[in-house]
Amino acid sequence: MAWNEPGKSGQDPWGNSGGGSGGNGNDPKPPKKSNNDDIDELLKKAQSILGGAGSKFGNNSGGGLGGIGGTVIFAVIFVVWMLSGIYIVDPAERGVVTRFGAFVEETKAGPHWHLPYPIETVRVVNVDQIRTAEIGYRSDTRNRAGNVPNESLMLTKDENIVDLKIAVQYQIESANQYLFDVSDPDQTLRSVVESALREVVGQSTMDFVLTEGRNEVVARVQELSQERLNTYSTGLMITSVNLQDAQPPEQVQSAFADVVKAREDRERLINEAEAYANDILPKARGKAARELEEASAYHDRVIAQARGEAARFSSILVEYQKAPEVTRKRLYIDAVSEVLGKTSKVFVGSDSSNNLLYLPLDKMVNQNQVSVPFKVEANTQSNPATGTSNSSTTNSSSNSRPNIREYLRNRELR
């Protein structure tokens, strides 16, 4: 049955008696509201309701404790409501407190308190969590990567197309900016990184991006992306940018593989040539230096020998001027001894001998021993005891130069 059903008085929930301006007393009248109907008024109404319930309870029990019971109940509810504002923030998190939706403060690790709902609310954000954004590909739960051509294909400076895939790792630096300054900071980061990557690739050649310029491209992309994220106040900080793959498009990979193979062969041949040059040049330089040193030593030796010969000739000249005949014979003997000392000839000399002498010259020559018997004398003497004659042969041989000199000197004396 409706509260304002005609013919039923006292059914108005707003406490109207039913006597209105219409004359029938059954027309409902709206409640009168104050302009300052806010949270305090709601609290007062709740207190009055609880107080009324407590007064009824007191009247039924026959005591005067109705007001006290309502106050206690209200106090308990108020305490529980105030305690609901206690919250704890972990070390890896930050708490963002808002009052009626507006930012108030950012709290760090530890227990904190805020005005309970609906006055203030708190949102806890994990700022130490490493998040990952994939550009050019997507990974599923089985860690299988799927290519995204509209993100991975990029144009280089020399009008070639490369297929790049990068992974960006980042974390929240400012929880306030992350929650309120940008509507979707994660998507903003993806767009910023892709834009920076296209800018860097567009300023580089294809060979530079695919070979020696990988590290430089990654560093430049991280720098540009972080600058733009700070400009947009996203509250994000990029920790690392990893180049997952860099290759030409699938349609030209075979031709590009041939080019890479040719480049590698060229580098290999250059390295082999450099290794050969590094092996030959030091040897050639060493040989040239050795020959120069030998030539210099020969030059010094010849000059020193010539000076020695000149000094010797000068000293001999002085002696020759003092005693020409003796000096002449000495020079003759020295010259002949020097010439004969280098030959393998044997001289046999005998004043008087009728006996045949036998010398093993072949063995003496084969043993590389030059025998120079400068005098061989055969003396025949008779032995009165036996009636026979003994032949004694004196054979003196020597390689030394003084024996030859003695032989020549004796011959000159004779």
Q: Return the pLDDT at 195.
A: 92
CA–CA separation, 199 and 219 (whole Å): 13
- The domains of the chain are located at 44-83, 86-126, 131-248, 251-322, 327-413
Backbone angles phi, psi at 313, to 5 degrees: -60, -40
CA–CA separation, 246 and 206 (whole Å): 10
What is the identity of the amino acid at 260? V
Residue 51 pLDDT > 70, yes or no?
Answer: no
* pLDDT > 70: percent of the chain: 65
Q: Return the pLDDT at 296.
A: 93
Instruction: Tell whether the torsion through CA atoms of 25, 27, 28 and 34 is positive or negative.
Output: negative
Identify the CA nearest to 368 among candidates 405, 399, 337.
399
Q: Return the pLDDT at 147.
A: 81
pLDDT band at 158 (very low <50, low <70, confident <90, very high): confident
Q: What is the CATH number of domain 131-248?
A: 3.30.479.30
185 near 236, Cβ under 8 Å?
Answer: yes
| Residue range 330-342: mean pLDDT, rounded | 82
- Could you tell me whether strands 161-172 and 110-113 are parallel, antiparallel, or unpaired per DSSP bridges? unpaired
Q: Return the pLDDT at 25.
A: 44
pLDDT band at 376 (very low <50, low <70, confident <90, very high): very low
pTM of the model: 0.48
Residue 220 pLDDT > 90, yes or no?
Answer: yes
Question: What count of Cα atoms within 13 Å lies in the side-chain half-sphere of residue 67?
Answer: 1
